Copies of this chain bind each other. A is one copy, B any other.
Amino acid sequence: MAEKLPLFSADDHIIEPPELWQKRLPQKFREAGPRCEYGKGKQVWHFEGNASPVIGLQAMAGRKVEDYTATAVTYDDMRPGCYDPVARLQDLDQDGVVCTVCFPSFPGLCGNVFIKAKDKELALACIHAYNDWNLEEWCGAAPDRFVPLMILPLWDPELSAKEVLRTAAKGAKAFCFTEFPHKLGLPSVYDDAWTPLWSAADETRMPALMHIGSSIGSAADMAADITPGAPASVFVTNAPLSSFYAASDLLWCPALAKYENLRFAMSEGGIGWVPYLLERADYTWERHRFWTQSAHMKEKPSTYFKRGIFVCFIDDVVGLRQRDIIGIDNILWESDYPHTDTTWPNSQEVVQRHFGGIPEADRRKITFENAARLFQMQPVATV
């Protein structure tokens, strides 16, 4: 890795190994816990009567774009780096990625499967099992390189706060939240119910990551947002915009003003839309706050953005061009391994293309230092 730029990817993904819950759950929950049926062209997770295959789009690292598929795939079809942390490290080394933040797959991007679960005692045990596995086995393979990202029992903000504190003590560095909790039947981000969680996040300085797509409750929800007759290209084009709406909610809700160390990151949301959001929100504050129930806000929305919101991009020349407006300290780079948008194994080339003409100090912040600070990591192999 000597001649490579060291990179810190703020958003990658794990395909969970098949025995994760069966090995980790307390005996009384194993029978009911998630089971992976796999082999011979099949790989399906079973839980509470639902069968969930792994979709090709979740594990395409290394394929040509012409071969991307939205159909089901198996462990045999994917790189071992998808599910094995040691193999992942080899893939990261090849690509010059020093550190990585990895989201769950089967549980959903914010633990959705467990939020929806009927048996909440079981669901909580599954969350503990995932987090302990993540801390001990996945991140345990290289604690200075894997950032422990936790899932929470978001159906209960008090329990969520507890899990933040429990895992922080074991070295956890961030947790999954969701863009629009109300779409999952939870209190909205404006609801005071989240106070215990914001408070625990503030205390531990663990950022809340809001990945695009984390609030899609079902395929029907997704279809409802898409114009009839539109090709899937439209969904792909528009998908990052959910981060615009989620960030806009955060700008206007009291949490960021109240908690000085509360941080959010909009995972996979891109950054090119941020300058428009900030200008538009400040304009709204200047011109409309008197009739829109926002006259109490003492500072412009962009002030809260600078302090509390991080935005993440994979491929976004337009956004980098506007980095001065977004805030050079608020931008994180991501590789999205092993999803379809991943830069792997061309991260070095993609980064070189993006940062040509951008000062070295800016490039270092965006591709490494901002993430190291946000996630409180002190990796050995820094720049």
With known contacts A227-B182, A240-B280, A280-B272, A291–B322 Cβ distance under 8 A: no
Asked if A203 CB lies within 8 Å of chain B CBs, one says no
Chain B residue nearest to A271 in the complex (CB):
B276
Verify B238–A244 contact, CB threshold 8 A.
yes
- Whether a CB of chain B sits under 8 angstroms from the CB of A189 is yes
Kindly state whether residue A121 has any CB partner on chain B within 8 Å: no
Interface secondary structure of A, over-half rule: helix
In this complex, what residue of B is CB-closest to A286?
B65
Q: Given A69-B291, A237-B301, list of 10 further CB < 8 A pairs?
A: A65-B290, A182-B228, A231-B252, A272-B279, A272-B280, A276-B276, A279-B318, A288-B340, A321-B322, A322-B322
Contact at A190–B230, with CB atoms within 8 Å?
Answer: yes
CB-CB under 8 A from A233, the residues of chain B are: 252, 281, 284-285, 288-289, 292-294
Q: Which residue of B lies closest to A234 (CB)?
A: B252
Asked if A156 is an interface residue, CB under 8 A from chain B, the answer is no
Copies, count: 2
Answer yes or no: A169 CB below 8 A from chain B CBs. no
What B residues does A321 contact at CB under 8 A? Answer: 322
Contacts of A273 in B (CB 8 A): 273, 276
Contacts of A292 in B (CB 8 A): 231-233, 235-236
Contacts of A290 in B (CB 8 A): 65-68
